[in-house]
Each structure stands twice: as C-alpha cells, then as structure tokens.
Structure 1
Amino acid sequence: MRFGTGQSASFAGRALHRYLDFVRRTTRFKPAIPGARPWERSRDPFIALTWHGQQMLSLAALDGAAEVAILASLHFDGAVVASVVERAGFRVIRGSGTQSPLKIKAKRAIPAFFEMREALRAGTSLLLTADVPKIARVAGRGAVQLARATGRPIYLFAAVTSARIDLDNWDRASIALPFGRGCVLWSEPLYVRKAADEREMGLIALEIASQLDELHVTAHRLLDRRR
C-alpha cells in the first residue's frame, strides 16, 4: 500500500492505538528526571531520535510534548503508524529515507525532508527513527542534515519496559507488554554546525549510534535495579 491509509490500516491503527494506551496506563514508569525532557528545557522545537525497533513506547516518551510531527513511510506499516499518530493528536509527515538514488522519488524522501525542515522552522518538533533503512542500529544522516539545515537540537531517547518480547527481525524490535515497569531516558542536546561537512556529519551519526546504544543499556540497567 502506498500514500493513503485505507480501511484496513485505519482499523489496525485504531487497535494499535488502544493497545499502546493500555500498555502506557498499566506500566509503572520510573519517575522522569526533572528538567530532562526537551520541552522542559526549552520551548524551541527539537528532533527526537530512537532506534526503529525500540519506537513502540515513543508516544509515552513524548507525553506532555506539544506540536510534534512524526515521519511515517508510504507502506502499509507506515499507514498504520500514521493512524496511531493522528489518534494521539500528533501530525504525520509521509515519506522515508533511502540509500538508493533510484528510490528517492518513490520513497518521497525529498518532499518529506522539506516538510520536516519547514515544520521545525515553524515551531513543530519531530520524531524520527535513527537507523539507516533496513540496517539496524546504524544511524543515518537524515536527522543530522535536518539539524544542520535548521539549527535545531537532536535529542536521543530510550523508552523501555521490563515486560516485553524481543524479536529476531531486521530491526531487533521489542514488543512492549502491559503490567511491567518502564523507563524513559533522554540525552543532552546535540547540535550540528551549519558549516559541518560530510566527514563531520558522519562522525555525528556514529556518535548518535553510540549514545543511543548506551541510553538503552542504561535504561534496562535501571529497570533491573528495581526488581
């Protein structure tokens, strides 16, 4: 399925939204560190990043944030995500990144980038996944390019729960289950210079990957301590 939702995606999105809300309400989240969340630090918009396979609790992580847009692909799973996001009161931008120049138009990569850039400039924050398409735990440069173009900070986050199923798929996804303990951790802001060249952006992408891994390890360690 391409651009547009359809009845099946809408139905799946409604069911998933209800499930995620149930998980959020039945999970005992560790109290957030005061002032750690981006919207508590500043009213300026920001770019939020997490791993693709760890995005299930993103709405819980963004609880309290205002004016947020979430990037969703043009495929059926993206249509389901779009339905969930809209029910949660957030904006959706359709499109996705790609490593293949031949797929840029089909993925709507360039229009989506411009929409995200304008959203940030207009005061709307963004939620993206960090991975290079179909390569787990390797951070791409899309968010880095957005940060360079707009001057907005990147915040990394880990949202994990003790009750979960870890899958052996391409993005090593975790399926959050209800009645567990949860933890959300945010990083310090990461800024990208407007003059940053390709080498510098590549190093920033490597730093993003390292920090995201560290955040998730720390979040799981904090949950283990509370047993």
Structure 2
Amino acid sequence: MAKKAKANPFLMWVLGWAGPAYINLVKWTTKREVIGEDILDRLQRGEEGYIVAFWHSRLLMMVPMRQTYEGRRFWFMISEHRDGDMIARAVEHFDISFARGSTMNERKKDKKKGGADAFRTLLKALKDGEAVGLTPDGPRGPRQRCHAGVAQLARLSGAKVYPVGYASKRAKLLDSWDRFHLPLPFTKGCYVFGEGISVTGDGPEAMEASRLEIEAALNHVTRIADETMGHEPVAPAEQRAVRQDR
C-alpha cells in the first residue's frame, strides 16, 4: 500500500498563521450582503441537523460563516490527501471539526480513502442535531458537478441540504480545476442561501434525481452570487459520468 504523501512542514507552519490571518482580513474588510437571510435565520433558530453545501471553489469564505451557526458543532469533510492536511491547518482556528475522507472514486475502487468512516461520523453528527459543510464536487471534481454522497447522507440522516453560494466583488479567479474564487480584502461580498432540499426517495433513479436537484440548486445560488458581484458566472465542467457512492 502506498504511503500517503505528507505536506511540507514549513508550508504547514505558514498556513497555520497565514491562512487564518488572511481569512480574517477578508472577513473584517468586506461589506457583507446576504440573499436569503430568512433561510439563514431559520437555520440559526432550528434544532435539527442540516447540511450546508457549497462548491469547492467557494470554500475559503464559508469558513468564517461557521461563527454564524453558534450553539452547535460544525463539521467539514475534507480529504485524507495532503491537500486536506493543508486545508485543515489553515482553518483549524475557526472551531471546525473535521471528518477525514472523500467520496469513492469509481476508477480507484480499491482505495476507500476513509470515506466510510467519515460518512458514519457525519451521519451521527446530523442525527445529533449538528451541522455539516460539504463541497459536493470535491476534492478533485469535475467542477460544479455534484457527487452522489451528499444526497445519500441527506437521505439516511433525514437532514435537509441547503445550497449556499458566495462571491466577492474584488477576487482573483485561479487557474485550478475548480476555478477557485479567491476573494481580496477591502471589497463587497455576497452570500446566497437557497431553500433546503429533502432527499426522501430510494433507488438509483430517485437518488440521481436528488443529486441533479442539488447540483442545479448549487449552480443557481452560485450564479446569483457571481452576477450580484458583477462577475461572469463560472460554467460547470463538461458533463461526464459523475462517480457514485455504493
């Protein structure tokens, strides 16, 4: 079995202070607008567990939003790859719990990547009334195409999936697989909350319909955020078979 690649210790040290500092700098110098604030209010007042879903490219500014969900534990699912180590290091100061793993890649069925353990951790958290943040196209894409895991987690837990989009007026669009949206300081930002999606059907056809519904909702709220901030919306990657959990 191949050993997991380890992140550079110096880079991890830098991320440990630079990551939180940059996130807070953007947060403190950004004038925030929330579309769908009534939905956010309902989440804050409720006692049931729920899933917040957002595309991988908008991950950075979802981190400080954790402080919005006061009174309950908040979980992120991140990969066991060294990229996940770096993400965990950068955001560990924001009172976020981590479930390490990722959805199974059909091309690498022999590598579970801790996905089953992470899934069980998140399932228990939701049933305990806690909150879970997921990037349904992570950790490796395709961009803005929803994997099946989020729909399966919602069905088994009974928790609703709330799609959230974010964009910043001043931002750099990175040349990465997800076209990462890097917000810059001293600007305006926009969060868009969509209505919760319940996944109640069973069987392949029903689950595929739920997956597509979540994908469409996420692209919708992200497009609204982009357009509100004056950006051309990023197009999803070309459609191809999206890996499915079993």
Alpha-carbon deviation of 1:168? 2.6
How far, CA to CA, are the matches of 2:56 and 2:112 in structure 1? 21
How far, CA to CA, are the matches of 1:7 and 1:168 in structure 2? 25
With over 3 angstroms needed to count, the CA separation of the structure-2 counterparts of 1:134 and 1:31, relative to structure 1, is closer
Amino acid at match of 2:141: K
TM-score, normalised with respect to structure 1: 0.89
Q: 5 Å matches for 1:66-77?
A: 66=70, 67-77=73-83
> Is the contact made by 2:104 and 2:111 (CA closer than 8 Å) also made in structure 1?
no
Question: Residue 28 in 1 paired to residue 31 in 2?
Answer: yes
Instruction: Select which of 18, 21, 32 maps to 1:18.
Output: 21
> Is the contact made by 1:47 and 1:147 (CA closer than 8 Å) also made in structure 2?
yes
Please say which of residues 104-113 and 210-219 is displaced more in the overlay: 104-113
> Is the contact made by 1:120 and 1:126 (CA closer than 8 Å) also made in structure 2?
yes
Please say which of residues 80-89 and 97-106 is displaced more in the overlay: 97-106
How far, CA to CA, are the matches of 2:123 and 2:7 in structure 1? 24
Partner of 1:48: 52
Alpha-carbon deviation of 1:41? 5.1
Alpha-carbon deviation of 1:45? 1.4
Alpha-carbon deviation of 1:10? 4.4
How far, CA to CA, are the matches of 1:110 and 1:104 in structure 2? 13
> Is the contact made by 1:98 and 1:104 (CA closer than 8 Å) also made in structure 2?
no
Instruction: Select which of 141, 146, 149 maps to 2:148.
Output: 141
Alpha-carbon deviation of 1:177? 0.8
Partner of 1:191: 198
Partner of 1:58: 62
Question: Residue 221 in 1 paired to residue 227 in 2?
Answer: yes
Amino acid at match of 2:206: E
How far, CA to CA, are the matches of 1:43 and 1:26 in structure 2? 32
Deviations 1:36-63 (A, max 9, x none): 2152352211111111112111123333
How far, CA to CA, are the matches of 2:36 and 2:210 in structure 1? 25
Deviations 1:143-194 (A, max 9, x none): 100011110110000121011111232111111111111010111010111x
With over 3 angstroms needed to count, the CA separation of the structure-2 counterparts of 1:96 and 1:56, relative to structure 1, is same
Instruction: Select which of 115, 118, 123 maps to 2:121.
Output: 115
Alpha-carbon deviation of 1:200? 1.2
With over 3 angstroms needed to count, the CA separation of the structure-2 counterparts of 1:188 and 1:162, relative to structure 1, is same
Aligned-residue Cα RMSD (Å) equals 2.3
TM-score, normalised with respect to structure 2: 0.82
How far, CA to CA, are the matches of 1:81 and 1:97 in structure 2? 17
Alpha-carbon deviation of 1:224? 3.5
Number of matched residues?
224
The gaps in structure 1 that reach 5 residues or longer are none
